[in-house]
Amino acid sequence: MSDRRFAVIGHPIGHTMSPFIHKRLFELAGLKGDYSVLDIAPEELPAKMELLNALDGYNITIPNKQRIIPFLDALDRRAELYGSVNTVKNGEIRTGYTTDPAGFLKALSSAGIPLSGDVVIAGCGGAARIFAFEAALAGCRLTIAARPESAEKQQALALELRQKLGAEKVSCCLLSEVEGEHDLFVNGTPLGMFPNTEGMAISARALSGFANVFDAVYNPLETVLIKTARANGSRVCGGMPMLVWQAVAAHEIWDGTVYSVGDIEQLTEDSAEEMKRKF
């Protein structure tokens, strides 16, 4: 099995933690697998498919998560529901999966944060869409909060949740309108991400009304949002656990590997240190 080959594709893809995380996961499982980084722009995909099909599996990041789908033979249920793929397993059938939902749910669980009750999700792009679908599937009372310029996209997401899932407890508001007491705030926007680290999706006053806070941003490890929420006494979770757990889900798909929670918690800590060292 030493000649097995895997990769992550995206564009641009210079600042990726994937090789570090996936190589460690192979080591933890006692398996061998070469894991490389391939910078592939969307327009290059057709010409690169022979290369990708020769791999045992690969991960996909922005901007190819939707564009890869026409080149695959099948999708799993979640990938079909989201119209997004971040993991491919090659073989007689080239199958696309999305492990982001599993990463999100595992990250919340590891932090002791329930996905239940009254949930506000900031944003309506790719990450926020995953969070919104999972919250709706869990039966949460869901509010999608966005900026005025995203109103059309925001309403389209709410309509999709109602049509695909029959979700009735879905509403929309502006980020500036978030107020009151809630169970969980989920930041699905890039606000607060390096190098513009001072931003927060909602005000500190509004944030004080949340019992739990999840921020998908993992660079920096502790965003202003997370620091503010912790100071408020909220239970918090940053984006690094989700990044690691979605990679774990990919290895479960490729090899059926089962990892201990302790090993993954240690890998999350090590990944955080590696990111600080590298980036």
pLDDT tens per residue across all 279 residues of the chain: 458 999 999 999 988 999 999 999 999 999 999 999 999 999 999 999 999 999 999 999 999 999 999 999 999 999 999 999 999 999 999 999 999 999 999 999 999 999 999 999 999 998 999 999 999 999 999 999 999 999 999 999 999 999 999 999 999 999 999 999 999 999 999 999 998 999 999 999 999 999 999 999 999 999 999 999 999 999 999 999 999 999 999 999 999 999 999 999 999 999 999 999 987
- Whether 65 sits among the annotated catalytic residues: the reply is yes
Handedness of CA 223, 225, 227, 229 (dihedral sign): negative
C-alpha span between 4 and 2 (Å, rounded):
6
Residue with tokens 């408020």: 232
Catalytic residue among 23, 32, 48, 65: 65
This prediction has a pTM of: 0.95
